[in-house]
Amino acid sequence: MKKGIKRIKESITKDEYKKLLHFSQNDPNIKENTRVNLLRTFTILYYTGMRINELQQLRLYHIQELLEKGETKLLLPKTTSERKLFASTQFKKELKPLFEEQLQSDTLDIRVITKKSTNSSINSDVFIKQVNSKIKEILGDGYTSHSFRQGLITQMASKQINAKIISKFIGHSDVKTTMGYIKPTDDDVKGAMIRWRKLDISKLL
């Protein structure tokens, strides 16, 4: 029996993120509420590496706390543990315009990702399929919502950030899980090959 092809799991880094935002902002076929949900999703996933089911637990008061205090706590679904989220200056800069109007409301106990008419939550499976479908449409095979998480962990590791710090930031209970996410990008591999060739040639001189 033939084994199925094991596809490469791609990471979403800055270039892919900007591409997702550009197409979502300018695609005339996307309904406005869907556009807002996608832009919020892509921005939050890129800067936090959240799982998409965690994202769906976020409420407006979490966003307000991120903007005002630079951090917030989120109770993780299906567990009794909390995850702390942090917002850098750049994250807050991109986050604010996506929520500015809603944050003027008296009611902040509303989910960040909602249906247009009722402000009710969207079915998790439906939303995950919608997001992954749009990511695949824009970036191609190998990319999913989880590519944000892998990309963020890989970028942090490439900057020599301690694995325990990355693990805490990303919400892993075991640092070994975090290490399993680190996937060198094509540019990392090409850069390593260039450095290796330079070292190899220097030995001949």
User: How do residues 157-184 score in pLDDT, each as one tens digit?
Assistant: 878 888 788 777 777 777 776 676 666 6
Query: Angle formed by the axes of helices 124-139 and 14-26, to 10°?
Result: 100
Angstrom distance (rounded) from CA 151 to CA 156: 9
Decide: helix, strand or coil at residue 73: strand
Task: Give the confidence band of 30 by pLDDT, cuts at 50, 70, 90.
Answer: very high
What tokens does 43 get? 């921005």
> Taking residues 104-124, what's their average pLDDT?
83
Tell me the pTM.
Answer: 0.81
Q: Would the pLDDT of 37 be above 70?
A: yes
Mean pLDDT score across all residues of the chain: 83
Amino acid, res. 98: L
What tokens does 78 get? 């299906």
Phi/psi at 71 (5° precision): -160, 160
Q: Would the pLDDT of 199 be above 60?
A: no
Q: Which of 113, 57, 67, 58 is nearest to 94 (CA)?
A: 67
For the chain, percent of residues with pLDDT exceeding 70: 79
Segment (H or E) for 205: none
Asked which of 40-49, 59-68, 96-105, 111-120 is least confident by mean pLDDT, the reply is 111-120
Burial 115-128 (b: 16+ CB within 10 A, else e): eeeeeeebeeeebb
What tokens does 189 get? 């591999």
pLDDT tens for 145-161 read 999 988 888 888 878 88
> Taking residues 40-50, what's their average pLDDT?
95
Fold exhibited by the domain 14-170:
hpI Integrase; Chain A (1.10.443)
